[in-house]
Structure 1
Amino acid sequence: MDFGIVLQCDPPAARTVALARQAEEYGFSHVWTFDSHLLWQEPYVIHSRILAETRRVMVGPFVTNPATRDWTVTASVFATLNQMYGNRTVCGIGRGDSAVRVTNGKPTTLAELREAIAVIKGLANGRQVDYRGSTVRFPWAADSRCEVWVAAYGPKALALAGEVGDGYILQLADPDIGRWMINEVRRAAIEAGRDPDAITFCVAAPFYIGQERQHMRDQSRWFGGMVGNHVADLVARYGKDGGLPAALTDYIAGRQGYDYNEHGRAGNTHTDFVPDEIIDRFCILGSATDHIARLQQLKEIGVHQFAGYLQHDNKEETLRSYGETVIPALREHLAARS
């Protein structure tokens, strides 16, 4: 299993870069950042600095969207970073949440998302694409390579991930819901004539190493609110009984809106509707032993990467514990002599 961290681009940017360096030192393979240009600093500028100050980690947005940038501009960013730093980018993408809603916009349609993925993937991998009636390519990016991983919850989005995604991103760490989501993506891949084993499955959630469970829950409750935004969209579209797992839809019954000024922040004031049970299911909290047990469950259902949201008050200790205890426990052990 691979491991990533997910960072917000809060100022100062040097702090974000320092956490990325520390993550690489502890054995994490990916560094992801939020992409919401009004709430936080511009991620791609920071990505360039992270790549310059690290040697191995892959870097990308978690997640970008087709609405806030021209698709060819997004592809050019990845191709340029790849040329500068040796193909160390990955594009996480979804329909859009905070980046579009803060400006009173709406998430894009799945049709637009599909088109954007084709353009970004084609250009960032050195190929020519059809774009607005023209055939275009980057003549300077023939050697660029960039995978596109699709974030999704709903049935149609899960099918899209299986049909066109190099990877699938699920933003919650519940093994039961995860099994259902992964199976849906794999089924769509098979129906599209793709090899489902070629898709990377990534689960992302807050992760906190500690002993005071209620404090860890309170530091992570924001995540249930963030997931609730997407779930509310799904319930509005498909209905409460629209084929989605009840564990994903029931808990938003008390949701009364969302303040994007506090998006993704510990201690926010509008997620009281999220019960402790959901936090325990969606997040990974507790001792290193607790984390290893949950990650083993995720690995068994086909998860290839766990990406931990690091928005809490125990960042360094969580990274250290993962580097020294958790990551080694989930890696293949090889003997020097047999």
Structure 2
Amino acid sequence: MRAGVVVAAQPGVEELAVQAEELGFHSFWLNDTPMVHGDPFVALSLCAKATSRIKLGIGVTSPALRSAPAAASGLASLNALAPGRIICGVGTGNTARRTLGMRPTTAATLEDFTAALQDLCAGRATEYREGDRVRDIRFLHTGAHVNTADPIEFVVAALLGPKAAAVAGHRGTGLISFGLLDPTAWHTLHDARRRAAQGASREPGSRSDSYLIASVHILKENEDPHGDAARDATGHVVMSLLAFAADTAADRHAFVGQLGPEEREAVQRYLDRRGTTATAPDRHTKLYPNYLGRIAPEDRDLVLPSLMNTLALVGTRDELLTRTTALEQAGVDELVIQPVIDPPTEMAQLVELLA
């Protein structure tokens, strides 16, 4: 299985990209969450100039955040800086929209957006709509402003399960998911993508790889799998689920209803500590600060063992190899980690684990 890394965009991130390339990582991703993290297009341009081999990914953008012309211009501009090394993750904007207090977009809108990006980034015209006004658009640049000759790899975020997998199948793209550690679930996604791909035309040079974003903690001898070190290394992923559950707790058919009593109690404590409620109109301003950042020591009790076991890869080297092998057999091509404690060390440990 290949190795990748995803971090937040910030000054100096290109130095981490260089280290990832030197360690042999396949990909280096930056989050596209405008009100929480820095801009990934700006940061990846620095990474593109500082590296020569590693793939550079946007993980992930959305039609609810950027118009197709704007996103395509950013992608094709990056492709001019790092020809053939750009990956674009696309999704409904589940987190990036909720951090604005808004809802994600639909799978149908996501599919139209993906198709438009594929057309524009390949130098083709595409249909662009604003209200009742529809026009064909294409890049009008001349010279080397953008690169539409080298292919850009697209992957669809599988947060809507089979619906997202169907978009990937229709558009001939890969998949990317967050914290999905169940091999059976990956088999289901891949089956849905294959069914949707029947009869669909593929983009020239397109790929359909699957990427899994997760946190990994390799236990030392006799280390507690739910101790402070493990909670610190994986807590950001667990807290992201608590934030989502808290944010949507008042919705009809809320996700929190799928959780057990202990997990639901943790969601309520998360709301209480953030000083908000599940119905407060400004709750997004309280729930998402430091999203996917290192957790505070006083929040370790919220990182429940049950949620760690579901969302994070924690275990001895042999245990983790068994789990990653099962995921690879289920069709996962690359494990992308989100390091928050000591990124260079965590990256080196992953490379050693997967070697």
Which category of TM-score, normalised to the shorter sequence, fits these structures? 0.7 to 0.9
Quote the offset at 1:139 in angstroms. Answer: 4.3
Would you say 1:203 and 2:212 are equivalent positions?
A: yes
Q: Match for 2:339 among 305, 310, 325?
A: 310
Contact 1:59 1:89 in 2 (8 A): yes
1:48 aligns with 2:77: no
Contact 2:217 2:315 survives alignment (8 Å): yes
Q: Which amino acid aligns with 1:8?
A: A
- One-letter amino acid of the counterpart of residue 212, structure 2: V
The amino acid of 2:4's aligned partner reads G
Partner of 1:145: 151
Q: CA deviation digits over 1:106-156, x for unaligned, max 9?
A: 211222212111111211122211112111112444414212211123342
SS at match of 1:103: coil
Q: Output the TM-score relative to the length of structure 1.
A: 0.82
Is the Cα–Cα contact under 8 Å of residues 33 and 62 in structure 1 kept in the other structure? yes
Distance 1:139 1:78, change over 3 A: same
Secondary structure at 2:167's aligned position in 1? helix
**225-234 or 143-152, larger mean C-alpha shift:** 225-234
Q: CA deviation at 1:194?
A: 6.8
Show the counterpart of 2:22.
Answer: 25
Q: Would you say the 8 A contact 2:172–2:207 is kept in 1?
A: no
Of the candidates 218, 231, 238, which is equivalent to residue 224 of structure 1? 238
Deviation at 1:58, TM superposition (A): 0.9
Aligned match of 1:75: 72
Confirm whether residue 266 of structure 1 aligns to residue 294 of structure 2: yes
- Residue 166 (str. 1) matches residue 180 (str. 2): no
Q: Alpha-carbon deviation of 1:277?
A: 2.6
Q: Is the 8 A contact 2:186 2:332 kept in 1?
A: no
Q: Are the aligned partners of 1:152 and 1:158 in contact in 2 as well (CA < 8 Å)? A: yes
Structure-1 residue corresponding to 2:264:
253
Contact 1:2 1:28 in 2 (8 A): yes
Distance 1:93 1:176 in 2: 22
Q: 1:19 Cα shift? A: 1.4
State the distance in 1 between where 2:252 and 2:187 align.
Answer: 19
**Contact 1:27-1:327 at 8 Å conserved across structures:** no
Structure 2 contact 93–105 (Cα < 8 Å) conserved: yes
Q: Which residue of 2 aligns with 1:292?
A: 321
- The aligned residue for residue 334 of structure 1 is none
Task: Name whichever of 24-33 and 99-108 sits farther off.
Answer: 99-108
Q: Percent identity among equivalent residues?
A: 25
Cα distance, 1:260–1:192 mapped onto 2, change above 3 Å: farther
Matched to 1:136, the amino acid is I
Distance 1:30 1:163, change over 3 A: same
User: Is the CA contact (8 Å cut-off) linking 1:163 and 1:188 kept in structure 2?
Assistant: no
Partners of 2:309 and 2:17 in 1: CA distance: 26
The structure with the larger Rg is: 2
Corresponding residue for residue 6 of structure 1: 6
What residue ranges of structure 2 are gaps of 5+ in the alignment? 142-146, 272-285
CA distance in 2, matches of 1:219, 1:326: 16
Residue 354 (structure 2) aligns with: 327
Which ranges of structure 1 fall in alignment gaps of 5 or more residues?
Answer: 241-245, 329-338
- Asked whether the equivalents of residues 61 and 90 of structure 2 are also in contact (C-alpha less than 8 Å), the reply is yes
1:72 Cα deviation after fit: 0.7
Return closer, same or farther for 1:4/1:72 CA change in 2, 3 Å cut-off. Answer: same
The C-alpha deviation readout for 1:63-116, integer Å capped at 9, x for no partner, is 111122222111111111112221211111111134322332221122221211
Q: 1:217-258: per-residue Cα shift (whole Å, max 9, x none)? A: 343122123245667869956677xxxxx9xx4355342357
Distance 1:121 1:228, change over 3 A: farther
Q: Residue 289 of structure 2 aligns to a residue in which SS?
A: helix
8 Å CA contact 1:23–1:319 kept in 2: the answer is yes
Which of 31, 36, 41 is the equivalent residue of 2:33?
36
Change (3 A) 1:316 1:229: same
**Which of 82, 85, 92 is the matching residue for 1:85?**
82
Cα–Cα, structure 1 residues 144 and 176, in superposed 2: closer, same or farther, change >3 Å? closer
Range moving further from structure 2, 282-291 or 23-32: 282-291
Please show how residues 120-131 of structure 1 align to structure 2 within 5 Å. 120-131=117-128
Length-normalised TM-score, structure 2: 0.78
Within 1, Cα distance between the matches of 2:249 and 2:6? 24
One-letter amino acid matched to 1:143: A
Q: Secondary structure at the match of 1:63?
A: strand
